[in-house]
Chains A and B, each alone.
Chain A
Amino acid sequence: MSKTYDAIVIGGGHNGLTHAAYLARAGRKVLVLERRPVLGGAAVTEEVFPGFKYSVCSYVVSLLRPEIIRELDLPRHGLEILPLDGTFTPMPNGDYLWRMSDHARTRREIYRHSPLDAEAYDEYSKAMADMARFVKPILSMVPPDPMSFDVPGFSRLFAMGRRFQRLSRTDQHNILQLMTMSAVDLLDQWFETDVLKATMSASGIIGTFLGVRSPGTAYVLLHHYMGEIDGVFRSWGFSRGGTGAISMAIAAAAQEAGVEVRTAASIERIKVKDGRTTGVVLEGGEEIDAPVVSSSVDPHRTFLKMVEPGVLEADFLSEVRRYKLRGSSGKVNLALDGLPEFTAMPGPGPHLRGAISISPSVDYMERAYDQAKYGEFSTHPYIDMVIPSLTDPSVAPPGKHILSCFVQYAPYKLREGTWDEKRDAFGDAVVNTIAQYAPNIKKLILHRQVLTPLDLEREFGLTEGNIFQGELSLEQLFFLRPVPGWARYRTPIRGLYMCGSATHPGGGIMGAPGRISALELIKDWKKGKVA
């Protein structure tokens, strides 16, 4: 191929596409290479069964950075977010907890469980919003390197420190706790209602191999709190046309800016000569040259599979190997002949339009984790379900519905057997668990798609099935993500950059890693550090 590019982006997920769009808007010639036949990575919509368009992996959106929506003008490219109203948690005793977007109604509902908690909920919501506001600037920041004299990095950190000082003592205390504590310890300080704590703590474990009582989960809770739609914190939504529509909108923006996209183009290896990258080799042998390669796939895949052995130093490689991916969740997508009927609140209704959470008690959540610690999937897992077809009828045939279930825990490494043997048993455990709350579910199922962590790895290239391309644990965040000393999107190979969820600020359909890394790369171009 004679054409030359300024940069090649590995992976057409939402981060790769965002990255490419920013590079092209800076006047560069960019090629995105995606292994699968469709774009989007884990933010993808696929018609797995005729008429049913699944948001196969990621299924709700909240964290997508507003500056990306604005700068790439995504609404013009077809992005439309539909609100997801509240969280409904059915309980085994036939009761339920239903939190809605309407704060006053949620308060009344919590009051039904505990008047004290209703009062605390006001304060808690305010405190969390304050925390999120404080932490948010970190999401658009390039992490400093504590190992070198990095003046701009430290001045940003110093500015953060000044802001921290100006907070009230209570807020300072809250931040310290959020950064280190377990979600349940944190919530215990505010609330007494078990089901409320359980369902709220669930945000603290999503995508981690931690339990709700594990220190560090309060931060993940906050991470999910930083979502913002149209300026409203903590609001979640669906994208019309499924989650893939987000990727398609970003792709459209990228292509408009001149990005070329090739699907079904799998990378065999990244070419390196004299310590700098010169392009990539595709499976089949085709070589494409470029002075810059940006990888949006995880570091295990990038450095251990795509870079030839011997190129990178052993110390760096052992740090990369230490980076923990550890998938802990699976996905079950059901095509339904009608709506599930929950014993706790029979009939159709607005409670089905939001998230439905199987998280009836803190012990339930913790026991689900206990099984995973010893290498089994949870027989009674935490499940977060949505029925997108109620809000967006375009994704299912008339009268039919999609039930999209995020399931935790499903450890990548099973102590006994393989995921290929256990896939159906896992799917059954999920359906049986749902059936305890919505007994009609089994009769409604037309099709069932079960994605184990192994499937997420094989199909979507997520090593070990980790949905965030690496755990969001403290030792893998900020200037330690993905490895100490290499948190600034650059790598030991000149011209090779990282731009995926394995870099700061991490996973979720956020786009921030793709954007910040692009801005860093553009800076390097301006300074003449890369060709």
Chain B
Amino acid sequence: MKADVVIIGGGHNGLVTAALLARGGLKPLVLERRDVLGGAAVTEEFHPGFRASTVAHVLGPLRASVVEDLDLKNRGLGFVEAEPRVFAPLPDGGGVALWGDAGKTAFELRKLSPPDADRYPEFHRSLSAIAAYLSRLLTLTPPDIDRPLKGPILPWLGLGMGFRGLGREDAQRLLRWGPMAVADFATEWFSTDVMRAIVCGRGIHGLFGGPWSAGTTANLLLQAASADGNGAGSTVQLVGGLGSLAGALTAAARQHGAEIRTSAAVERIAVKDGRVTGVVLAGGEEIAARAVVSGADPKRTFLDLLDPAVLDPDDVRRLRNYRQQGMASKVNLALDSLPPFRGDVSPDLLRGRIHVGPDVDDLERAFDDAKYGGLSKKPYLEATIPTLWDSTLAPAGQHVMSVYVQFTPYALREGSWETRRDEVGDAALRTLETYAPGISRRVVARQVLTPLDLERTYGLTGGHPMHGEMALDQLFLARPLLGWGRYRGPLPGLYMCGAGTHPGGGVTGGPGANAAREILADLK
């Protein structure tokens, strides 16, 4: 069999690349190992009658140009911008809600802390301005380190002007914040434990680091940049779960002429005379192609699918050292009724992200456990209850609670994830009991996905949800490796389009879109 371009992996980035390549006139073929599309952005039935976004549960959100270019708005996607965006319950009842409207948030914060209420609008403004600036960086292909002046120079000049346009204060903040520990960043802004902890939660999300780890502010800024920069963060979800996205992307890709096959596991990438010539499927089927684009993570792509002998030994060493240890698990709960949050919390407050971890020290201690290869006794949780606005996911009156659990390190010092899976579910429920006593009795069923499950079932090497640490040395032109930051692999005909490339993880379609632009430039 022959194809124009083979795309390995039908995750959301692979599908975005496929749809955009097809739209650009190529004939891509997507090969997905599983029988469902979407990768980590997937809706699955985890208990009869209960469906959830089993892995990722909030959109990045999607890059606006992707939505527009692929006409996703007209493909039946129901975007839900839940309000409040975040709710952080407190152990003795009640909690703090942050809304999309900064004025409303500041007004409500006044009850908690007048100084924090005073600071919030400026926090929101400054973060929005910096995020708007950084978002321009996310759409660019990182420069070629050997020839930085090659290629279009205008966007870079624009970026330089934009930096000055930020004004002295915000520009200095951007430079200073990047390498900072998010705990320092949060302390500069807010005085209450819970406000600091909410900010810190965003900094450590998906990272093998605690609030006191340097560079965690950069993680927060990147998230803010791929969203609207709102002080409350972003909470965009989809009716039908994130799997709906795969449906819409598939429709777009097919309409433009892409072919998509599921249950088609690529076993290796074929190389001849130093050039990628196609792929070989499990079972032996060979597919020749002009180009192979991998949506899989860098370790899987280069160390598993490719024969490392074709690579420079130095590159192999660098790849082995690419940091990709997963730190999070997912616990999906089927509930017979809503969780009873202390202090008569109105269900209206639970529609967005629920941040559990009310002070910075708790988050840091959760990380301490992971440093020594243990799972957090009191993990940081981010939960959503999509059934509050989407009745299609559970039987009437019943609910789904999707709980992201951090830290659960992939490499355990004692025992294995096979035998310790239940500990994650128990730790999550024990933690939730503090805020919603009695929640355990409402659990009809639970699904626990450990880092090992994320690796085995969803193909995330090391169980890393972002295809590798979003650390300063693994970002931008160094993602995944310095010299490989332009979506092109080290062999002619090999490309990357997954979260292991700039701008990294999250359900944004950003890497897929950037990669498609580069591939079209090479192949057309």
Chain A residues with CB under 8 A of B179: 180, 216, 473-475
Distance (whole angstroms) from the CB of B206 to the closest CB of chain A = 15
A374 touches B482 (CB 8 A): no
| A214-B175 contact in complex given A181-B473, A189-B321, A363-B372, C-beta closer than 8 Å | no
Number of interface residues of A (CB under 8 A): 35
Within A449-488, the residues touching B (CB, 8 Å) are 473-475, 479-480, 484-485
Contact with B along A162-200 (1 / 0, CB 8 A): 000100011011001101110001001100000000000
B168 touches A173 (CB 8 A): no
Distance (whole angstroms) from the CB of B304 to the closest CB of chain A = 20
Q: Does B417 sit at the interface, judged by CB under 8 A? A: no
Q: Does A373 sit at the interface, judged by CB under 8 A? A: yes
A173 touches B172 (CB 8 A): no
Q: Does B455 sit at the interface, judged by CB under 8 A? A: no
Among A180, A322, A324, which residue has its beta carbon within 8 angstroms of that of B472?
A: A180
| A215-B213 contact in complex given A165-B146, A475-B177, C-beta closer than 8 Å | yes
Number of contact residues on B: which range applies? 35 or more
A315 to B169, alpha carbons, bound, how many Å? Answer: 9
A374 touches B361 (CB 8 A): yes
| A484-B188 contact in complex given A170-B314, A210-B214, C-beta closer than 8 Å | no
Chain A residues with CB under 8 A of B214: 210, 214-216, 473-474
A181 touches B175 (CB 8 A): no
A448 to B504, alpha carbons, bound, how many Å? Answer: 54
Chain B residues with CB under 8 A of A177: 473
- Give the nearest-CB partner of B217 in chain A: A475
B168 touches A147 (CB 8 A): yes
A484 touches B172 (CB 8 A): yes
Distance (whole angstroms) from the CB of A328 to the closest CB of chain B = 12
A180 touches B314 (CB 8 A): no
Q: Does A146 sit at the interface, judged by CB under 8 A? A: yes
Distance (whole angstroms) from the CB of B27 to the closest CB of chain A = 34
Chain B residues with CB under 8 A of A165: 145-146
A250 to B175, alpha carbons, bound, how many Å? Answer: 36
| A475-B482 contact in complex given A147-B171, A181-B471, A366-B371, C-beta closer than 8 Å | no
How many A-B pairs with Cβ below 8 Å? 82
- Give the nearest-CB partner of A189 in chain B: B321
Q: Does A353 sit at the interface, judged by CB under 8 A? A: no
Within B464-484, the residues touching A (CB, 8 Å) are 471-473, 478, 481-483
Contact with A along B106-126 (1 / 0, CB 8 A): 000000000000000000000
Distance (whole angstroms) from the CB of B377 to the closest CB of chain A = 14
Chain B residues with CB under 8 A of A180: 179, 215, 471-473
Among A169, A176, A374, A484, which residue has its beta carbon within 8 angstroms of that of B473?
A: A176
Distance (whole angstroms) from the CB of B482 to the closest CB of chain A = 5
B323 touches A373 (CB 8 A): no
| A214-B172 contact in complex given A180-B179, A363-B372, C-beta closer than 8 Å | no
Chain B residues with CB under 8 A of A315: 169
Most A-side CB within 10 Å, residue of B179, B188, B318: B179
Chain B residues with CB under 8 A of A172: 145, 482-483
B188 touches A176 (CB 8 A): no
Rank and list the top 4 A-B pairs by shortest CB-CB distance, nearest first: A474-B179, A180-B472, A484-B172, A216-B214
Q: Does B493 sit at the interface, judged by CB under 8 A? A: no
| A373-B364 contact in complex given A215-B471, A216-B179, A473-B214, C-beta closer than 8 Å | yes
Chain B residues with CB under 8 A of A169: 314, 482-483
A2 to B462, alpha carbons, bound, how many Å? Answer: 74
Within B335-369, the residues touching A (CB, 8 Å) are 361, 364, 368
Chain B residues with CB under 8 A of A215: 209, 213-215, 471-472
A363 to B368, alpha carbons, bound, how many Å? Answer: 11
Q: Does A107 sit at the interface, judged by CB under 8 A? A: no
12 contacts between A and B (CB under 8 A): A147-B168, A165-B146, A173-B483, A176-B478, A216-B214, A322-B188, A363-B372, A474-B178, A474-B214, A475-B178, A480-B176, A484-B175
Distance (whole angstroms) from the CB of B513 to the closest CB of chain A = 25
B368 touches A370 (CB 8 A): yes
| A185-B209 contact in complex given A173-B482, A475-B176, A484-B176, C-beta closer than 8 Å | no
Q: Does A213 sit at the interface, judged by CB under 8 A? A: yes
A176 touches B371 (CB 8 A): no
Within A324-339, the residues touching B (CB, 8 Å) are 324
Q: Does B212 sit at the interface, judged by CB under 8 A? A: yes
Distance (whole angstroms) from the CB of A219 to the closest CB of chain B = 10
A366 to B368, alpha carbons, bound, how many Å? Answer: 9
Q: Does B159 sit at the interface, judged by CB under 8 A? A: no
Chain B residues with CB under 8 A of A185: 323
Q: Does B4 sit at the interface, judged by CB under 8 A? A: no
Chain A residues with CB under 8 A of B145: 165, 172
Among B172, B323, B371, which residue has its beta carbon within 8 angstroms of that of A147?
A: B172
- Give the nearest-CB partner of A208 in chain B: B214
- Give the nearest-CB partner of A216 in chain B: B214
Within A144-166, the residues touching B (CB, 8 Å) are 146-147, 165
Within A344-380, the residues touching B (CB, 8 Å) are 363, 366, 370, 373-374
Chain A residues with CB under 8 A of B305: none
A225 to B314, alpha carbons, bound, how many Å? Answer: 24
Q: Does B180 sit at the interface, judged by CB under 8 A? A: yes
Among A189, A363, A373, A484, which residue has its beta carbon within 8 angstroms of that of B212?
A: A373
Contact with A along B299-320 (1 / 0, CB 8 A): 0000000000000001001100
- Give the nearest-CB partner of A374 in chain B: B361
Distance (whole angstroms) from the CB of B412 to the closest CB of chain A = 15
A422 to B101, alpha carbons, bound, how many Å? Answer: 49
A76 to B178, alpha carbons, bound, how many Å? Answer: 46
Q: Does B184 sit at the interface, judged by CB under 8 A? A: yes
- Give the nearest-CB partner of B169 in chain A: A315
| A214-B212 contact in complex given A370-B368, A475-B177, A480-B175, C-beta closer than 8 Å | yes
A205 to B321, alpha carbons, bound, how many Å? Answer: 22
What would 10 more interface pairs be, CB under 8 Å, given A173-B318, A189-B321, A315-B169? A172-B482, A176-B473, A180-B472, A181-B473, A188-B321, A215-B215, A374-B361, A474-B178, A475-B178, A480-B176
A216 to B218, alpha carbons, bound, how many Å? Answer: 13
- Give the nearest-CB partner of B483 in chain A: A169
- Give the nearest-CB partner of B171 in chain A: A147
A172 to B483, alpha carbons, bound, how many Å? Answer: 9
Among A173, A181, A210, which residue has its beta carbon within 8 angstroms of that of B481?
A: A173
Chain A residues with CB under 8 A of B317: 189
A179 to B212, alpha carbons, bound, how many Å? Answer: 18
Most B-side CB within 10 Å, residue of A170, A172, A215, A474: A215
A165 to B477, alpha carbons, bound, how many Å? Answer: 13
Chain B residues with CB under 8 A of A214: 212-214
Among B180, B323, B371, which residue has its beta carbon within 8 angstroms of that of A475?
A: B180
Contact with A along B205-248 (1 / 0, CB 8 A): 00001001111000000000000000000000000000000000
Chain A residues with CB under 8 A of B323: 185
A146 to B473, alpha carbons, bound, how many Å? Answer: 21
Chain B residues with CB under 8 A of A473: 179-180, 214
| A213-B371 contact in complex given A181-B471, A485-B168, C-beta closer than 8 Å | yes
Chain B residues with CB under 8 A of A176: 473, 478, 482
Chain B residues with CB under 8 A of A181: 471, 473
A370 to B178, alpha carbons, bound, how many Å? Answer: 24
B175 touches A146 (CB 8 A): yes
Chain A residues with CB under 8 A of B321: 188-189
Distance (whole angstroms) from the CB of B222 to the closest CB of chain A = 14
Chain A residues with CB under 8 A of B184: 324
A322 to B180, alpha carbons, bound, how many Å? Answer: 12
Distance (whole angstroms) from the CB of A483 to the closest CB of chain B = 9
Distance (whole angstroms) from the CB of B406 to the closest CB of chain A = 17
A324 to B177, alpha carbons, bound, how many Å? Answer: 13
Chain A residues with CB under 8 A of B169: 315
Distance (whole angstroms) from the CB of A299 to the closest CB of chain B = 15
A152 to B212, alpha carbons, bound, how many Å? Answer: 36
Contact with B along A287-325 (1 / 0, CB 8 A): 000000000000000000000000000010000001010
A55 to B364, alpha carbons, bound, how many Å? Answer: 37
